[in-house]
Structure 1
Amino acid sequence: MKGSGLGGPGDVKGGKTRFDDVYDRPDPRAYFARLAPLRYEIPHHAQGVFRRTVADWRAAAPGGGGQGSPTVLDVCCSYGVNAALLNHDLTLAELYEHYTCPRAQRLSTAELVAWDKRFYAERRRSDAVPVVGLDIAGRALRYALAVGLLDAAFADDLERGPAGPGLRRALSGVGLITITGGGSYVTRRTFDALLDAAHRPVWVSAFVLRTVSYAGIAAALDAHGLRTVSDPARSWPQRRFTDAHEQAYAVAAVRALGADPEGLESAGRFHTVLYESRPAARWEAQ
């Protein structure tokens, strides 16, 4: 999810509640405590998808046979939750338990970082891939770096300007871009900046709320030789609504985009669609 300095707890922009006060703290305890009652779960659904996409990328790499690893760039990575789930034998439910348990509440941030270094090191998968984080939430990035979830992190705001030298260097090795919580905050400007700096064909896997259009980003990806596919009939729940106002906003936004909220947003939860973008030749080869 995107960290930003705009708004405060309960702020609503366009009807969607913002949680900016928990996106950029020195550690993620408040983040998990706030989102647990809302059953924020999209990283859980993305975990298996991203692991399969990494495996597909390896199989499609020159030489095939599953050799090599893509560097993953997680857009709007915040505290590195997607990296934690991609590279470690963990579930999202276990992360909620870890960060809300009584022991975690007694620790200082420095003590939590030391505990988390061991926690993640003990659960590191043998097939872990390098992960680069991108988010404007600097303190969240520093935590994710300190505990070993991210190999590099950048706070470049690509909605406002081009990638800086450090991010451009990191992008030279990126093979997969992932996003689960930033579709409401970033536009084609971010993806144009990323792909302009990439040095190889890049795949993109994006879970995007049904309340926002992905057309602009898909057009940007197409301009860089990537074809986007999705199944609008299939969705993944993101979280419960905070209140009736937020639900009314979501239902209206989905209808305005020509989709049907019945049984999804009308039943009380945000839902996402998965968009996957790869070079056209790669889709044709499948």
Structure 2
Amino acid sequence: MAGAGSGGTEGVTGGKSRFEDIYGRPDPRAYFGRLAPLEYEIPHHAQPVFRRAAADRAALDDARTHGTAVLDLCCSYGINAALLNHDVTLAEMCERYTSPGSRTMSTAELTASDKAFYAARRRPDAVPVYGLDVSAPAARYALEVGLLDAAFTDDLEQGPPGPGLSRALADVGLVTLTGGGSYVTARTFTALLEGARRPVWVSAFVLRTVSYEPIAGALAVHGLSTTVDASRLYPQRLFTDAREQRYAIAAVRALGGDPTGYEENGRFYALHYESRPHAAVHRARGGSPAP
């Protein structure tokens, strides 16, 4: 369940490259150094979507209650949290962590620099963000520099939430995801929703190579309706090699999609799924029921 956009060239499962090694480093320089050349961009597309979803979800809460928290699933180094709560772009983050000046810093120096960098760019409408990722170094860094209000490493594919995450779930009203749909299953979402104490929405960007149907089904059991705008595709990143492209094209076709003009042109593409309680879905904009 490592990181948003988890995926690398050291190993291949089913043809999709995996990048586990870049999530075990003490800071995000290797993450951006590997993904920047692949034009990794899905968090950029998610930024306005998550901001809108967080604002809409927060508007439902009683002003007297504690603010609703966002739980970023597969949070890695806090990329989505940075983009949600700070005046910064993914391109600026890419440039920051791949710059010559960044490469000469120690992790301690980069941590101190990042604390100041993000604090100066904190938005007045920032919301509490919790991160969940099995990569302890990545989640720890995001917490240390102030991108996350709390970080957890529970592997919900293997077992239920621990005491810390269980307590935190009482605050969660929105779950976000970019890329981790290739690595987490309905088990993770079921565990999260079973621990929820308030209405939870889910906003997820998932590659077209993966069926979201099992997760949508699990969410439906907990009273959530899932919609998807199948007419809009979001580019995720370039393929690492021809083998990965062949895998993606075959996977998209197997799920009834058409890779023409998309995966056939050399990139992964994602769909955006919104899951909300049945009553809220009727008030939401656009989208059709997810399969």
Q: Same fold (TM over 0.5)?
A: yes
Report the CA distance between 1:3 and its aligned residue.
Answer: 4.6
Select the residue among 183, 186, 190 that pairs with 1:185.
183
Q: 1:92 matched to which residue of 2?
A: 90
Deviation of the 1:169 alpha carbon: 0.3
CA offsets per residue over residues 67-105 of structure 1, 9 Å max, x none? 974200000001000000000000000000110111111
The residue aligned with 1:80 is 78
CA deviations 1:6-59 (Å, max 9, x no partner) are 997431100000011111210000110111110000000000000011121133
Q: Aligned partners of 2:91, 2:58: CA distance in 1, in Å?
A: 28
- Equivalent in the alignment of 1:129: 127
* Cα pair distance change 1:96/1:7, threshold 3 Å: closer
Matched, 1:53 2:48: no
The answer to whether the Cα contact below 8 Å between 1:72 and 1:178 also exists between their aligned partners in 2 is yes
Cα distance, 1:231 vs structure 2: 1.3
Shift in Å, 1:60? 3.3
**RMSD, aligned α-carbons:** 1.9
Counterpart of 1:95, as a letter, is M
Determine which of 217, 224, 227 is the counterpart of 2:215.
Answer: 217
Contact between 1:88 and 1:124, CA under 8 Å: does it hold in 2? yes
CA distance in 2: counterparts of 1:250 and 1:273, whole angstroms: 14
Deviation string 1:165-185 (CA, Å, 9 cap, x unpaired) is 100000000000000020000
SS across alignment from 2:218 = helix
Please say if residues 104 and 112 of structure 1, whose CA atoms lie closer than 8 Å, have aligned partners that are also in contact: yes
Conservation of the 8 A alpha-carbon contact between 2:3 and 2:180: no
Distance 1:142 1:103, change over 3 A: same
The answer to whether the 8 A contact 1:3-1:24 is kept is: no
Deviation track 1:166-221 (CA, whole Å, cap 9, x = no partner) reads 00000000000000020000000000000000001100000000000000000010
Question: Secondary structure of 2:36's partner?
Answer: helix
Percent identical among aligned pairs is: 66
Superposed CA offset, 1:101-159 (max 9, x none): 11111110011101110010010000001000000000111111110000001100000
Q: What pairs up with 1:225-264 in 2 under 5 angstroms?
A: 225-264=223-262
Q: Gaps spanning 5+ residues in structure 1: where?
A: none
8 Å contact kept, 2:130–2:149: yes
Q: In the aligned structure 2, how far is the partner of 1:152 from the partner of 1:59?
A: 22
Contact persistence 1:24–1:78 (CA under 8 A): no
Does the 8 Å contact 1:2/1:181 carry over to 2? no
Please state whether the residue corresponding to 1:60 is helix, strand or coil.
coil
Conserved in 2, the CA contact under 8 Å of 1:9 and 1:20? no
Whole-Å separation in 2 of the counterparts to 1:207 and 1:3: 13
Please name the residue that 1:277 is paired with.
275
Paired with 2:25 and 2:162, the residues of 1 have a C-alpha distance of: 24
Residue 189 of structure 1 aligns with an amino acid whose one-letter code is R
Letter in 2 for 1:167: L
The amino acid of 2:208's aligned partner reads R
Q: Could you tell me which residue of structure 2 aligns to residue 30 of structure 1?
A: 30
Distance 1:49 1:211 in 2: 21
After the TM superposition, which segments of 4 or more aligned residues of structure 1 sit over 6 Å from their partners? Answer: none
Are residues 151 and 78 of structure 1, via their aligned partners in 2, closer, same or farther at CA, if it must alter by over 3 Å? Answer: same
What's the offset of the Cα at 1:285?
3.6
Partner of 1:18: 18
How many Å separate the matches in 1 of 2:7 and 2:235? 25
Measured in 2, the distance between the counterparts of 1:237 and 1:31 equals 18
Are the aligned partners of 1:16 and 1:249 in contact in 2 as well (CA < 8 Å)?
Answer: yes
Q: 1:165 & 1:150 partners in 2: Cα distance?
A: 18
Give 1:271 shift.
0.2
Q: Using structure 1 for the length normalisation, give the TM-score.
A: 0.95
| 1:128 counterpart letter in structure 2 | A
Alpha-carbon distance in structure 2 between the residues aligned to 1:121 and 1:27? 18
* C-alpha separation in 2, matches of 1:57 and 1:7: 30
Secondary structure of the structure 1 residue equivalent to 2:190: helix
